[in-house]
C-alpha cells in the first residue's frame, strides 16, 4: 500500500560522494573519483528519483547537492537529475563547489542549470592551514574565483571556514576572517575542527587547541562577524539579511526533506531513513525499488526530542506557540523542571513565547541540549 503524504513543500538533499582526493580531516563516506563510476552513480540517482516520484508529488522549496564533491558533476548531469521534479519557481538550489573547480568553463555550463546558490569549500585563507587540511587551492587564487562567480551572476555565495586548527591563534583567525570579508560573501559557515578516529589526521588530535582557546575563537568569530553586519542565526552560521540557508533551515525546523544517493539521510515525518553507505548496497536497494532501505518510524517523544535538538541550534530558539500547535502539548509541561535548572545556571532563556540558548551556551550547545532532552 502506498503511504499518504502531505502536499506541503519539501526539501531535497542529493549526495555526491566522489572526491578527487580525500581531505585529511574528513570522516564522511566518500569514493575516489572515476568518471565512469560517477556516470553509473548518476544513472542510479535518476532511478531512485523516479521511485520517489511514484510516492511523492510535493513541490520542492529547496534542493542541496552535497558531498563529497558535487561540482564533479557535469552541468548536463545536474539538469538530468533535476528534470521532472516539481520545483517551485523561487526554490533555493545549492551546489557545494571546490574552489579549484570555479572556472569560466564550468560556471558557463552551470548557468544552464537551475543552480542559484554556491557553497564554496574554502575552509581557510591561511596557506599553512590549507596545507594541514590537505586542501589544494591557494589563498591568492580566491579573489579571482569569487569575481568569476559574480561575473556569472551568482549573487548568493556561502563560504566555509574551519577554526580551532593546530597552532592557530586569534591573530591568525582574524587574518583569515578579514580576507573572507574582503570577498563579500552573503553567507559564512564556521565549523570547529573535529578529528574523528577514522580520519587521516586523527593522530593530530592532541595538537588541537584546548577547549578554552576553541571557545575564545568561537566568541571572536561571533562578535567580529556580527559587527560586520552578519546575522548569527544558527550556532555555526552567519548571513547577511535575506541570505539565510533555506535548505538548512528545513533541518533546524524539523521540516520534511527527501534524500537521494548513497549514505544520504532523509526525514518524512514520522519516518527517518538512511541509504546504505556503500555503492553496491545502494545500487541493490534501488534495483529492488526500496525507497526507505534503512528506516525508523519515530515515536512522538523522539520527534519532540529531535525538534528540540535541531530547533535550539537557532539563535531564535523554539517558538512555544508553534511547538504547542505542532504537538498539542506545552513544552514547559514536558521539560519545565529541566528548563528551570538550566535557566538557573545561565544556559537557557525562557520568555512567554520562546525558549533559546543563552550566548554562553552556544559553544557547549550539545551538552546543554543533551541535559534538556536526554
Q: What is the pLDDT of residues 107-157, one digit of tens each?
A: 999 999 999 999 999 999 999 999 999 999 999 999 999 999 999 999 999
Give the model confidence (pLDDT) of 176-188 as tens digits. 999 999 999 999 9
Does the pLDDT value for residue 35 go beyond 70? yes
Whether residue 106 has pLDDT greater than 70: yes
Cα–Cα distance list, 214 to 30, 167, 210 (Å): 28, 12, 6
Question: Do the beta carbons of residue 247 and residue 266 sit within 8 Å?
Answer: no
Of residues 112 and 194, more confidence is placed in: 112
pLDDT in tens, 356-373: 999 999 999 999 999 999
Mean pLDDT of 70-98: 97
Residue 96 has pLDDT above 80, yes or no: yes
pLDDT value of residue 1: 34
pLDDT-derived band at 354, boundaries 50, 70, 90: very high
For cell 542541496, what's the residue?
64
What does DSSP say about strands 294-297 and 271-274: parallel, antiparallel, or unpaired?
Answer: antiparallel
Q: What percent of the chain lies above the pLDDT cut of 70?
A: 98
**Res. 238: pLDDT tops 60:** yes
158: cell is 556561502
pLDDT of 239? 99
Q: Which three cell numbers stand for residue 77?
A: 548531469
Q: How far is CA 101 from CA 92, 144, 315, in A?
A: 21, 12, 34
Q: Residue 26: which pLDDT band, with cuts at 50, 70 and 90?
A: confident
pLDDT score for 153: 98
pLDDT of residue 6: 58
Alpha-helix runs per DSSP H in the chain:
35-53, 75-82, 104-110, 127-133, 139-151, 170-182, 211-227, 246-252, 279-287, 300-311, 320-327, 331-344, 365-373
Q: Please tell me the predicted confidence (pLDDT) of residue 357.
A: 98
Confidence at 197, pLDDT banded by 50, 70, 90: confident
pTM: 0.95
Instruction: Give pLDDT, residue 3.
Output: 47
List phi, psi (to 5°) of 364.
Answer: -110, 35
Residues ≥6 apart with Cβ < 8 Å to 304: 327, 334
181: exposed, middle or buried (C-beta count within 10 Å: 0-12, 13-18, 19+)?
middle
- Scanning the structure block, which residue is given the C-alpha cell 566522489? 18
Check: CB of residue 118 under 8 Å from CB of residue 156.
Answer: yes
In this prediction, residue 202 carries a pLDDT of: 77
- Domains of the chain and CATH, by start: 10-250 (3.20.20.70), 300-374 (1.10.10.920)
Helix (H, G, I), strand (E, B) or coil at 296: strand
DSSP-based three-state secondary structure for 200 = helix
Residues ≥6 apart with Cβ < 8 Å to 290? 51
For the chain, what is the mean pLDDT?
Answer: 94
What nine digits make up the cell of 256?
520534511
Contacts of residue 106, defined as CB under 8 A and 6 or more positions apart, other chains included, come to: 71, 75
Residue 359 is classified by DSSP as G
Amino acid at each position: 500500500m502506498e503511504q499518504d503524504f502531505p502536499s506541503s513543500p519539501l526539501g531535497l538533499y542529493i549526495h555526491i560522494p566522489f572526491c578527487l582526493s580525500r581531505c585529511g580531516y574528513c570522516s564522511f563516506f566518500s569514493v575516489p573519483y572515476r568518471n565512469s563510476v560517477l556516470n553509473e552513480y548518476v544513472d542510479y540517482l535518476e532511478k531512485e528519483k523516479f521511485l520517489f516520484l511514484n510516492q511523492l508529488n510535493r513541490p520542492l522549496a529547496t534542493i542541496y547537492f552535497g558531498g563529497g564533491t558535487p561540482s564533479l558533476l557535469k552541468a548536463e548531469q545536474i539538469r538530468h537529475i533535476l528534470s521532472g521534479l516539481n520545483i517551485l519557481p523561487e526554490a533555493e538550489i545549492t551546489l557545494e563547489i571546490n574552489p579549484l573547480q570555479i572556472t569560466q568553463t564550468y560556471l558557463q555550463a552551470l548557468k544552464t542549470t537551475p543552480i542559484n546558490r554556491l557553497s564554496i569549500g574554502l575552509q581557510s585563507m591561511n596557506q599553512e592551514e590549507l596545507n594541514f587540511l590537505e586542501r589544494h587551492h591557494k589563498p591568492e587564487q580566491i579573489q579571482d574565483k569569487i569575481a568569476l562567480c559574480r561575473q556569472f551572476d551568482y549573487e548568493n555565495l556561502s563560504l566555509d571556514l574551519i577554526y580551532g586548527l593546530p597552532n592557530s591563534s586569534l591573530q591568525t583567525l582574524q587574518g583569515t576572517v578579514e580576507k573572507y570579508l574582503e570577498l563579500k560573501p552573503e553567507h559564512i559557515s564556521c565549523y570547529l575542527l573535529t578529528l574523528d578516529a577514522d580520519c587521516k589526521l586523527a593522530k593530530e588530535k592532541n595538537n588541537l587547541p584546548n577547549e578554552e582557546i576553541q571557545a575564545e575563537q568561537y566568541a571572536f568569530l561571533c562578535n567580529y562577524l556580527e559587527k560586520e553586519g552578519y546575522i548569527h542565526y544558527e550556532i555555526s552560521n552567519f548571513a547577511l539579511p535575506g541570505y539565510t540557508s533555506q535548505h538548512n533551515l528545513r533541518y533546524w525546523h524539523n521540516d520534511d526533506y527527501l534524500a537521494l544517493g548513497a549514505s544520504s539521510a532523509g526525514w518524512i515525518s514520522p519516518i527517518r531513513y538512511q541509504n546504505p553507505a556503500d555503492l553496491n548496497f545502494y545500487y541493490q536497494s534501488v534495483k529492488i525499488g526500496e525507497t526507505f532501505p534503512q528506516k525508523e518510524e519515530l515515536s512522538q517523544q523522539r520527534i519532540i526530542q529531535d525538534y528540540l535538538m535541531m530547533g535550539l541550534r537557532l539563535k531564535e530558539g523554539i517558538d512555544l506557540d508553534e511547538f504547542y500547535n505542532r504537538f498539542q502539548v506545552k513544552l514547559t509541561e514536558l521539560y519545565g523542571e529541566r528548563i528551570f535548572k538550566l535557566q538557573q545556571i545561565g544556559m537557557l532563556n525562557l520568555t512567554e513565547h520562546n525558549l533559546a540558548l543563552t550566548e554562553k551556551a552556544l559553544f557547549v550547545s550539545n551538552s546543554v541540549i543533551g541535559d534538556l532532552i536526554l
